[in-house]
Chain A
Amino acid sequence: MSAPSRPATEGFLVPPTGVLRSAATFLYRRRTFYLLLLLVPPLLWLTTAYLATLLALLTQSIYSIDEFTAQIVRTPTLATYKQLLTQPANLDIVLRTLTMAVCVTLAAAFIAFPIANYMVRYASPRTKAVFYVAVLVPMWTSYLVKVYAWRLILAKEGILSWLFQAAGAQGVLDAILQIPAIGGPSLASSYIGMFIVFVYMWLPYMILPIAASLERVPGSLIQASADLGAHPGQTLRSVILPLVMPGLAAGSVFTFSLTLGDYIIPSIVGAPGYFIGMMVYQQQGTSGNIPLAAAFSVIPIVLIAIYLALVKRLGAFDAM
């Protein structure tokens, strides 16, 4: 079986030629250079566009404003922070925003978990796809359109109050609106309404991470738990929740930080009380008090850092 002799270049040990080929070979052999090539652009972006601006923000917050000239005094001082943390009105704003963020996060988690669990464990592949689309599509819609739509839904003569009326439950709505502090003349101008809009807006950010971590819990673990005598509730507490914690933590970081930083929802829906985001917007815009605006921006960063430390302490990332 003698094959006809071939030209040497067709043998399979001859290295291929060409510029692209030799570039590929070079990259394959110089792994460090290859990594650098991949990492430098995102690192540049991260350092200049992100870390540098953050640093600029922090620098602004330790400047102060001259009350007579409204000029920024560029000498390091803690006066701005002192002003923020000692004036009751400012503290109220921080507390109001924080309370809202915590409530929204808790509610989103309680609503999102059953939805994610159904999507991942019980829905047929088709229904599951429909659910994913239903969760994602609202995120493609303009944020402002959604907020204004909610304002109409929640308005005094809006769809929701009309539905309450049609169901003969006007009294229930009135009773809800009469709750002190969180009630108001209508849902659209109460903290309850604002809360509803926040939960609606951030729900996808809670559902998706929870669903992702549920997908990674093998069905055999749940069966093993039942096999070993655990009732469904015990399986939920002892197996599913601990393993889903990283997803729950990730989702809650989204809902928590998005609520802390938002200034559009509180200015369109809800009671007139200020939120941190609105304060930043107003201080750097109308009032021109950049140092105070910067100091207010630091508050959510600190709060989220504390939140992450707490979550880590509770062991949420242990199963990662």
Chain B
Amino acid sequence: MNIHENPLIDRKLAIGETIVLGSHRFEAEEIKEFASKYDPQRFHVSEDEAKASVFGRLCASGWHTAAKWMHFNVASYPATLERSKAFGEPIVFGPAAGLRDLKWLKPVYVGDVITFTRTAESHRALSSRPGWRLLTNRCEAFDEDKTPVMQFRALVLMKVG
């Protein structure tokens, strides 16, 4: 469905509105802990080896940055749900169907303070699941200079009622 075809659903899903989800300072310990479990490439687990790599310093796994976005996204769900009640039945959050155009634009280094945002972009009905829609969110992360360090689109199932 074109995003302008159902203004009530657009407003219920806050289409076009950017929500600041929160900020996080990435510390060496957590960078190494995540990487040791899921992405133990040398530039994510060792300061010394990171110096010899293309990155020059210890930096977070891109999947760590993405997972941290999700942490802040989920923390925003109660407020998102509450807000939707102004437009009728509250929305129901479903699982993600996928990610698109995930870009790690800049390394996230130790001590970087990263701010995460979400912007609902568009939605369409799912013929296979009556009442459910597939929502496309633009997901972004910025450093303290407001330079984007990561961006992707998340496709998520949402019961809009």
A, B co-complexed: no
The residues of B with any CB-CB pair to A shorter than 8 Å are none
The residues of A with any CB-CB pair to B shorter than 8 Å are none
